[in-house]
Structure 1
Amino acid sequence: MRHDEMIGKVQSLARLPDRGTAERAAHAVVCTLSERLPSGLARHVAAQLPPDMAAAMREAADTAAAPDSGTAGERFGLTAFAGRIAARAGTDEDTALRDAAAVLEVLDAALAPELTERMAGALPADIRELLPVGRADQDTRETG
């Protein structure tokens, strides 16, 4: 999926007023997601994204990975996830959660299914709730 198409879908799904707001939201979510995922997985996700989104994701993954940890991502839940997105996007946490759900839905459509499944498996249940309903339900059945 091309960058413009991804941003357009985020704007539509999150009902954002303009492309600039959608761009900020997508960047904030991708960066925060990459901090939460193991760095190797974040790099795999980045490899399937348009170049500018991929670069942001790789940079955040590299920054989040402790030098001696190898691939471990940071451990934080939904509240911190929403707070980081809100701070990056310049919005409130409720809007950040809405935007995150939209971005995650677009990522779900853009990524290879097995990569999306690995990403979902690496997220805690509270963040996984933001994934598209079918994917979240499937992951719950598999892990529950």
Structure 2
Amino acid sequence: MRYDEFLARVRDLGEYADHDEAEHITRAVLEVFAPRITAGEVEDLAAQLPGPLGDVLRDNRAGRPETFGLEEFYRRVAERTGARPRTAEWDASAVLSTVAEAISGGELNQVLSQLPSGYAVLFGKPELSG
């Protein structure tokens, strides 16, 4: 998937006004997501994402993954976007389900294995939540 296709998909899923809004939301979600997984997994994921998205992940990775739950994830996304946490949930789902479409199934499984099961729904995999 090319960068412009990725952002178009996020724009469609999130029902954003334009490319710039989709790009802003995508960057905010990935900036919050990167510290949640291991640095090695950030590298693996970044290698499969188009354009500058890999750099967004790399620039925001942590030495050791942080262990925050979904509510904190939404709060942090909302803080970066200026939205409410409920809107941040919508934003995160638009971006992370597009990530799931853009990467291999094996990579998605590795990412999900590092997260509590509740995160799976954000990647469009509600059957793995529980």
- TM-score between both structures, scaled by the size of structure 2: 0.92
Q: State the shift of 1:107 in Å.
A: 0.6
Equivalences for residues 111-122 of structure 1 within 5 A: 111-122=103-114
**Does 1:136 find its partner at 2:126?**
yes
**Does 1:89 find its partner at 2:81?**
yes
3-state DSSP of counterpart to 1:108: helix
**Runs of 4+, deviation exceeding 3 Å:** none
Which of these two proteins has the greater Rg computed from alpha carbons? 1
Q: Any unmatched runs of 5+ in structure 2?
A: none
Equivalences for residues 1-144 of structure 1 within 5 A: 1-61=1-61, 64-65=62-63, 72-132=64-124, 135-137=125-127, 139-140=128-129
Q: Any unmatched runs of 5+ in structure 1?
A: 66-71
Q: State the shift of 1:33 in Å.
A: 1.2
Identical-residue share of aligned pairs (%) = 32
Deviation string 1:20-60 (CA, Å, 9 cap, x unpaired) is 11111111111111110111101110011123111110010
Who is 1:69 aligned against? none
Q: CA RMSD in A?
A: 1.4
- TM-score between both structures, scaled by the size of structure 1: 0.84
Q: State the shift of 1:131 in Å.
A: 2.1
